Amino acid sequence: MILDLLEALPRYAALNSRFDLVVDALRRMDVSSMPDGHYEIDGQNVFLILSEGTGKGRQAARLEAHERYIDIQISLAGTEEIGWKTLWHCRSSLGIFDTAKDIIFFSDAPDSWVSVPPGHFAIFFPEDAHAPLAGTGPLRKAIFKIIVDE
């Protein structure tokens, strides 16, 4: 997991060959004014999900993990809080891995919590189980899904 200021995102481009597409998309698109929805950047290799909602709080947020995609979660409005636990320490899955949606949920408690205020981002790799939407109040987020380099 990585947490940093949004303006520092370009320095992480070396971590995945498609991170540059995210940096370029953020330069071209005004994600703060776009409507909620799914936006393709590079087909199913890189796409953006914009969503607005209300934070669930820590008690209701569930750990999730992905196999095929890396998440870059950007707070646009409201202070997001996200729980974290290494996938290797997750023991209590809530069902089986959904390959179509690339997700599995866990009932384990996160080991730590990070605050992601507006203008910041968090990157979650497949080994990072994360519990998004643990903030409270209105939240607006941009979530870039980047396929793992093969």
- Topology adopted by domain 2-147: Jelly Rolls (2.60.120)
- Predicted confidence at residue 36, as pLDDT, reads 98
- In this structure, what is the dihedral angle of CA atoms 112, 55, 117, 2, given to the nearest 10 degrees? 40
Separation CA 99–CA 104 (nearest Å): 9
Q: Where are the domains of the chain?
A: 2-147
Task: Give the pair of three-digit tokens for residue 124.
Answer: 């979650």
The SS3 call for residue 89 is: helix
Task: Give the pair of three-digit tokens for residue 119.
Answer: 């203008």
Task: Give the pair of three-digit tokens for residue 126.
Answer: 């497949």
pLDDT one digit per residue (tens) for the chain, 150 residues:
999 999 999 999 999 999 999 999 999 999 999 999 999 999 999 999 999 999 999 999 999 999 999 999 999 999 999 999 999 999 999 999 999 999 999 999 999 999 999 999 999 999 999 999 999 999 999 999 999 976
Residue (of 94, 147, 144) closest to 121 by Cα position: 144
Task: Please tell me the pTM assigned to this model.
Answer: 0.95
